[in-house]
Amino acid sequence: MSTVITNIGELAGAAEDRWLMKDAALVIDGGRIAWAGPSRQAPAADEAYDAGGRAVLPGFVDSHAHLVFAGERAEEFAARMSGRPYAAGGIRTTVERTRAASDAELAANVRRLVGEMARQGTTTVECKSGYGLTVEQEERAVRIAASLVDEVTFLGAHVVPADMEPEEYVRLVTGPMLEACAPHARFVDVFCERGAFDADQTREILTAGRAAGLVPRLHANQLGHGPGVAIAVEFDAASADHCTFLSDEDVAALAGSRTVATLLPAVEFSTRQPYPDARALIDAGAEVALATDCNPGSCYSSSMAFCVALAVREMRMTPEEAVRAATEGGAKALRRTDVGHLRPGARADVLVLDAPSHIHLAYRPGVPQVARVWRNGRAV
Ligand code: NIG
Ligand code: FE
């Protein structure tokens, strides 16, 4: 079954040498992009969809989310808005609720959020564990995630559980927990931050994760300056996430590496922190991604469009830079070449905006602008 999308006013991400094409058409065949080019050269297909002059983009790649959880923390958010700072300790509240939930409840929560994301144009989702913090609980988190999302990250090292000593917990994470979780995950992550895991512990966990076949990524430099970004680069991590507090050395290290700087501006919005310096990263030549970090604590938004709008308004990214960071940037942060673009051969993850240009994502913040989404060639 093939579909030709005709009358595309603006087609993004369909050619290596030209990110935007005007008056274009796109052909989907068997879950893949089969052809992209000028409207008048469009080949015939089994069915046609008239985009009516709208903009067509690759589906968003949300490369950072924590969806396996129960309960929520709206009161913590309200307290923050009245001046209380965000602290890693809030994670333990969600750990308690998550441990008490059934597998079916946790799966339903992931499904609900993945559905919410899909309706907003997100077609690739990464999800982390990290609200279980025992071997059994972390294993079930990565197992549930693996059945419902594209990419899974083992984040046993999210915070030290209240009833354990740090050294004892690191031994558990690098031993039996890793062994139980590695078969369900592709990445290993550590919350490298004061109040969570320090540099030595982070290196120990990434080293063990890598030995188990997982690709490192890191929660780095979210709450203050620290060693996270440098360690991410040292480990050739796929991504260093947050990057809210960066030194000049951190920026230079990222620029000289293939580690993607994944910026999560909806977290800064929801925690009232300064926004990361996207301009410094981009101008130095670092690869930048945008993601939501959807979780019940630091940011309960699943909207990539909101992240794009924040990146443009608050981080001085151009609309093109922001949309590319939310699509191909996310794909790079997940070391994926089949998503985040619409060149022939890509997975047919297609977002038709109810707008003539990608600029409208930032120009009309908060307005639903998804006209239609295909994921893997199927209408969502
Ligand atoms: O990416 N910083 C660590 N983890 C999450 C927040 C988790 C929570 O507060 O529940 C984050 O911001
Ligand atoms: Fe996170």
Biggest distance spanned by C-alpha atoms of the chain: 67
Give buried/exposed letters for 137-175 (b at 16+ CB in 10 A, else e): bbbbbbbbbbebbbbbbbbbbbbbbeeeeeeebbebbbe
The alpha carbon torsion through 295, 299, 301, 303 (nearest 10 deg) reads -110
Residues with CB under 6 A from ligand 1: 66, 90-91, 94, 191, 219, 222, 267, 293, 295-298
Protein residue with its CA nearest to atom 6 in ligand 1: 298
ipTM for the whole complex = 0.97
Other Cβ atoms closer than 10 A to 256? 12
Helix (H, G, I), strand (E, B) or coil at 95: helix
Residue 341 has pLDDT above 90, yes or no: yes
pLDDT score, position 174: 98
Q: Which of 197, 263, 295, 307 to mutate to test the pocket of ligand 1 (most atoms within 8 A of CB)?
A: 295
pLDDT in tens, 109-141: 999 999 999 999 999 999 999 999 999 999 999
Please name which ligand lies nearest the alpha carbon of 158: 1
pTM: 0.98
Cβ contact 343:15 at 8 Å: yes
Instruction: Name every residue whose Cβ is closer than 8 Å to that of residue 83 and which is 6 or more positions away in sequence.
Output: none
Q: Which residues contact 372 (CB under 8 A, 6 or more apart)?
A: 49, 350, 351, 352, 379
CB proximity list for 351: less than 8 A, separation 6 or greater: 56, 57, 58, 59, 60, 121, 123, 370, 372, 373
- Ligand 2 centroid to 86 CA: how many Å? 13
Instruction: Give first-to-last CA distance, the chain, whole Å.
Output: 16
Q: Ligand 1 atom 5: the closest Cα is on which residue? A: 298
* pLDDT tens for each residue of 288-319: 999 999 999 999 999 999 999 999 999 999 99
Q: Any idea how long the chain is?
A: 380
Confidence class of residue 87 from pLDDT cuts 50, 70 and 90? confident
Ligand at shortest distance from the CA of 217: 2
Three-point CA angle 263, 147, 237, nearest 5°: 35
Mean pLDDT in residue range 82-86: 93
Task: For residue 93, give the ligand 1 atom closest to its CA.
Answer: 10
Over the stretch 352-380, which tens digit does the pLDDT of each residue have? 999 999 999 999 999 999 999 999 999 99
Task: Kindly state the tokens that stand for 95.
Answer: 């750990």
**What average pLDDT does range 11-25 have in this prediction?**
97
Query: How far, CA to CA in Å, does 335 sit from each of 8, 215, 295, 331, 376?
Result: 29, 9, 23, 6, 18
Domains of the chain: 2-58+340-379 (2.30.40.10), 60-333 (3.20.20.140)
DSSP state of 325: I
DSSP for 167-195, please give it: HHHHHHIIIIIHHHHGGG-SEEEEEESTT
For residue 89, pLDDT beyond 90:
no
The model's confidence at residue 88, banded by pLDDT at 50, 70 and 90, is confident
Least confident segment among 89-93, 108-112, 236-240, 255-259: 89-93
Percent of the chain at pLDDT > 90 equals 99
> Would you list which residues are annotated within the binding site for 4-imidazolone-5-propanoate?
73, 131, 158, 222, 298
| Nearest Cα to Cα of residue 137 among 170, 113, 106 | 106
pLDDT of residue 314: 98
Tokens of 170: 């690191």
pLDDT value for 103: 98
